[in-house]
Amino acid sequence: MYIDQETGLRQDVPHRILYPILDAKDTGLRVMTESRVDRIIFDGHKAVGVKYRHGTQDKEIRARRLVVLASGAFGTPQILERSGVGDKELLGRLVIPLISNLPGVGTNYQDHNVFFYPYKSSASAGETLDGIVSGRLSLKEALEKKNAAPRRHILGWNGLDCVGKIRPTDEEAQTFPECLKTLWEKDYRPRAERPLMLMSSLAAYVGDHSGLAESQYFSLGPYTPYPYSRGSVHITDRNPLTPPEFDCGYFGNPADLEKLVWGYKKQREIARRMAHYRGPLQAGHPLFPAGSKAGFDVIDKASKEQGHPVPITYSEEDEDAIRSFLRNNVSTAWHSMGTCAMKPREQGGVVDGDLNVYGVERLKIVDLSICPSNVSANTYSTALAVGEKAASIIATTLGIPYSLKPGSSGPEMARL
């Protein structure tokens, strides 16, 4: 339902929402590209505009009623800090005048940690994205092929055909290390609907294809929906072009690592039972010690002889190999959030329930930086939900009637 039946291309927010607004003549919306926001301009504690850089020129825009900030989990805290909103000690070191002391700005960073484990596949070239990933299929060629299968040609499909939420059995949970077992008993076991892991299939190998045969692959990616680890992002000077100091915080809490160890074992069991499974692509898996009974060569051979997948037993050395692999290879799911959390100010919060930044006036934040904790889903839909709620709150603030019904067009949304 997300693919345009005439063009075969996936639908997206710009084409469905932004461009129709820009084409409408009565919205007054202006979009400035090739620009970078420097900071919010304050008159006392009142937000009155934005300073930004366009090319080599510094420019300003004045706001008559409200400034709305939506620069994401990375950009929003940096703009606030350059504006004088953040931890007073950090701003003092950088000689930035303090507007509002909010130590929570830039903290509480969280993400869904993931690694996609690749397997050789018996699928055909048209059933995976490996052609695009490897460069064997050019964009021009892919566009020419779009009419061959309009509902699933290579540019209308993201390769993520299946996503699941999984929990361990009670027996599995009892084998967890104490750091994870304690949290399982407190946060998960009493809540039957709360998944310990998410898992997604991907019809491709997203790594380096150089040196690989022109084969097809699939991958399984387990990731933790509710990470306990937290990171941070902070500016290092007042220049908006200077990269920030970023700590992803992955595995700051050892329970997150142990969840992914369990996730590795679980995805491997699933992969071995898939019809397209033709063994591992070893470059994307832990290297188990010599003689390990968990090695793919041992397990796959025994399974073939028995005619069904045989159980895998992991030794402590095998589990250490999985941990080492994860520490070296775990990656982002691009689900970053939390750096300007909506919670009480005394608990490190940055915005209140109406999206207002504490300690200042006429400034709201409307992106995923406001989420106090993560969600057990792809965060795309969460971002749209935040945007819709923000539109309603802003309309109420400005005294503008606003009601968005499902299926509303871009110009209708632009009335706000």
How many CB atoms lie under 10 A from the CB of residue 218?
29
**% of the chain with per-residue pLDDT over 90:** 74
CA distance 160 to 168: 23
Fold: same for 23-110+336-413 and 113-229+247-332: no
Tell me the average pLDDT of the chain. Answer: 91
Q: What is the pLDDT of residue 412?
A: 53
Q: Which residues of the chain have pLDDT under 50?
A: 150-151, 409-410
For residue 82, give the nearest of 109, 112, 58, 114 by alpha carbon: 58
User: 7 burial class (0-12, 13-18, 19+ CB within 10 angstroms)?
Assistant: middle
Give all strands (DSSP E) within 314-380, no chain letters. 331-332, 363-365
Q: Which residues lie below 8 Å from residue 219, measured CB to CB, with a gap of 6+?
A: 116, 117, 118, 119, 201, 202, 204, 205, 206, 284
Q: What is the pLDDT of residue 373?
A: 92
CATH for the 113-229+247-332 domain, from 3.40.50.10300, 3.30.560.10, 1.10.3720.10, 3.90.180.10: 3.30.560.10
Say if CB 401 and CB 416 are below 8 A apart.
Answer: no
Q: What is the pLDDT of residue 83?
A: 98
CA 254 distance to own-chain centroid: 21
- pLDDT tens readout for residues 165-218: 999 999 999 999 999 999 999 999 999 999 999 999 999 999 999 989 889 999
State how beta strands 85-86 and 67-69 pair. Answer: unpaired
Homologous superfamily assigned to 23-110+336-413: FAD/NAD(P)-binding domain (3.50.50.60)
- pLDDT tens readout for residues 275-289: 999 999 999 999 999
Q: Where are the domains of the chain?
A: 23-110+336-413, 113-229+247-332
Q: What is 72-136 written as a DSSP string?
A: HHHHHHHHHHHTTEE-HHHHHHTT---SEE-TTTT--BB--EE--EEEEE---GGGSSHHHHHTS
